[in-house]
């Protein structure tokens, strides 16, 4: 199997100023291309360290992907080191990248200075993958068996995360062209509402019967649930995808509505698609989630087509006067109760005139008591088919509890929409 090293370059990583997210993105892209990541390395902007580390990785791995160190300032020396280790004699101007540099700077109303132009200069022994999102192109250096003990390629990507992630598909295309990889055929599905161990137990009979060449991977995430990935290496695309599809049909029979997406959608994107398709509107009333549900919903571009708005009723007075929750209900059942969650959901639906609404009331922490320990939440959903409530309890810190409450509320709303046959 082809192996890769991922190397991020920059003092800002070593002093902990930034969290390296590029490596995880690159690792995922490599994995989906059928390449194993051997290891990841982060090093500083020092000439010897960059040279020695990159040569060492090239000797061990078939593919080395670097990010960073390509900026126009003096401390960015990766390009010079790459010129050296590739035996380049001079720098040449890449016309395509130069045009991008002009376009980007003129677009910002800036003059193109000599050090901007220099971004399009690359060592003569490299090939260029133009980077439309930034001024530094991707440089591809190919090494022979004589140089590093086996044929290898080094891809130097810019360090800015959105540029690095944006150019990854082209880098993977280049790898596919130059290395012999089996094709990978795969499908993902997203599951919410089951712990990894519970899911694994539930689908064990199905998993045991899975043909040997169909690989299953669990990628759990406490907020979006578990991504299940089914993949086959090699074979004909249509036939193999058909075989994966058959397995998904069986899995559907077991998991039903627990599967919320067959793409990499989030819960809020899935909900958005459902509401948009049905031409229905939504509102929210939040207490313990404090705005997080509304934030998630509106993080989806185009959410104004179905989302009317929300009330965060942190104070009891706002629950009563804005949402119209009857004071006697609060007194009788307490703020953290099924009854108050229901009244909040009904109140915001009445207030905004939305078709559906979702509400939360709970304790994210600190604090709590025996009746309502920290991590308790009541969720309500209201719509034309009535109001439903559910209670959950998580055992995390305040920040994480808020995120979990919000995700659980979105999922409860999703199930309501399905079960009441909105679609």
Residue 87 CB: number of other CB atoms within 10 A?
12
CB 377 within 8 A of CB 288: yes
| Cβ 227 to its own copies shortest distance, Å | 9
Angle subtended at Cα 245 by Cα 241 and Cα 248, rounded to the nearest 5 degrees: 140
Cβ proximity to its own copies, 92 vs 308, nearer residue: 308
* Cross-strand pairs, 225: 221
Q: Which residues contact 387 (CB under 8 A, 6 or more apart)?
A: 342, 345, 346, 380, 381
Tokens representing 9 are 């370059």
Cβ proximity to its own copies, 29 vs 202, nearer residue: 29
Cβ proximity to its own copies, 187 vs 398, nearer residue: 398
- One symbol per residue from 288 to 327: x for binding its own copies (CB under 8 A), - otherwise; what is it? -xxxxxxxxxxx-x-xx--xxxxxxxxx-xx--xx-----
CB 76 within 8 A of CB 70: yes
State which of positions 360-379 bind its own copies (CB under 8 A). Answer: 365-366
Q: Is 21 one of the binding residues for its own copies (CB under 8 A)?
A: yes
| Cβ 382 to its own copies shortest distance, Å | 17
| Cβ 312 to its own copies shortest distance, Å | 4
Can you tell me the distance from the alpha carbon of 28 to that of 34, in angstroms, rounded to the nearest whole number?
A: 10
Tokens representing 317 are 């007075």
DSSP-assigned letter for residue 137:
P
State which of positions 221-280 bind its own copies (CB under 8 A). Answer: none
Instruction: Return the residue of 368, 398, 415, 418 that touches its own copies, per CB under 8 A.
Output: 398
State which of positions 113-172 bind its own copies (CB under 8 A). Answer: 162
Q: Which residues contact 160 (CB under 8 A, 6 or more apart)?
A: 133, 134
- One symbol per residue from 50 to 79: x for binding its own copies (CB under 8 A), - otherwise; what is it? ---x--------------------------
Residue 185 CB: number of other CB atoms within 10 A?
21
Sheet holding 225-233, edge to edge: 214-221, 225-233, 184-191, 259-261
* Number of residues counted as binding its own copies (CB under 8 A): 72
Q: Is 200 one of the binding residues for its own copies (CB under 8 A)?
A: no
Instruction: Return the residue of 353, 370, 371, 421 that touches its own copies, per CB under 8 A.
Output: 353
| Cβ 2 to its own copies shortest distance, Å | 14
Cα torsion angle, 347, 349, 350, 351, sign: positive
| Cβ 251 to its own copies shortest distance, Å | 20
**Stretches 42-50, 121-129, 194-202, 242-250: which one binds its own copies (CB under 8 A)?**
42-50
State which of positions 75-114 bind its own copies (CB under 8 A). Answer: 108
**Stretches 85-93, 254-262, 287-295, 325-333: which one binds its own copies (CB under 8 A)?**
287-295
Tokens representing 13 are 């990583």
Q: Is 39 one of the binding residues for its own copies (CB under 8 A)?
A: yes
* Cross-strand pairs, 319: none
């Amino acid at each position: 199997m082809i192996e890769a090293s991922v190397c991020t370059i920059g003092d800002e990583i070593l002093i902990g100023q930034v969290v390296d997210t590029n490596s995880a993105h690159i690792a995922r892209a490599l994995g989906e291309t059928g390449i194993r990541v051997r290891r990841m390395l982060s090093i500083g902007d020092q000439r010897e360290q960059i040279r020695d580390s990159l040569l060492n990785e090239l000797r061990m791995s078939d593919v080395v992907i670097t990010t960073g160190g390509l900026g126009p300032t003096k401390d960015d020396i990766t390009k010079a080191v790459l010129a050296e280790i590739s035996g380049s004699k001079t720098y040449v101007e890449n016309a395509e990248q130069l045009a991008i540099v002009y376009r980007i700077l003129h677009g910002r109303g800036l003059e193109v200075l000599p050090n901007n132009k220099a971004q399009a200069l690359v060592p003569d022994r490299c090939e260029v993958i133009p980077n439309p999102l930034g001024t530094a192109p991707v440089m591809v250096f190919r090494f022979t068996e004589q140089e590093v003990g086996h044929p290898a390629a080094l891809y130097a990507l810019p360090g800015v995360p959105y540029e690095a992630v944006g150019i990854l598909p082209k880098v993977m295309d280049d790898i596919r062209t130059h290395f012999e990889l089996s094709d990978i055929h795969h499908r993902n599905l997203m599951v919410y509402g089951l712990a990894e161990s519970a899911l694994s137990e539930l689908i064990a009979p199905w998993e045991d019967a899975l043909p040997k060449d169909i690989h299953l991977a669990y990628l759990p995430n406490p907020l979006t649930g578990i991504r299940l990935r089914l993949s086959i290496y090699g074979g004909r695309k249509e036939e193999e995808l058909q075989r994966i599809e058959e397995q998904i049909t069986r899995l559907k029979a077991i998991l039903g509505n627990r599967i919320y997406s067959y793409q990499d959608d989030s819960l809020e994107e899935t909900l958005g698609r459902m509401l948009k398709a049905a031409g229905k509107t939504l509102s929210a009333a939040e207490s313990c989630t404090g705005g997080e549900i509304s934030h998630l919903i509106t993080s989806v571009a185009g959410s104004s087509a179905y989302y009317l708005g929300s009330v965060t009723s942190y104070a009891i007075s706002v629950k009563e006067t804005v949402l119209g929750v009857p004071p006697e209900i609060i007194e009788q059942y307490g703020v953290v109760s099924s009854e108050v969650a229901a009244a909040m959901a009904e109140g915001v639906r009445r207030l905004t005139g939305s078709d559906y609404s979702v509400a939360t009331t709970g304790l994210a922490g600190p604090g709590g008591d025996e009746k309502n320990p920290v991590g308790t939440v009541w969720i309500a959903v209201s719509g034309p088919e009535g109001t439903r409530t559910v209670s959950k309890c998580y055992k995390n810190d305040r920040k994480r509890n808020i995120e979990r409450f919000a995700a659980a509320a979105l999922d409860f709303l999703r199930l309501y929409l399905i079960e009441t046959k909105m679609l």
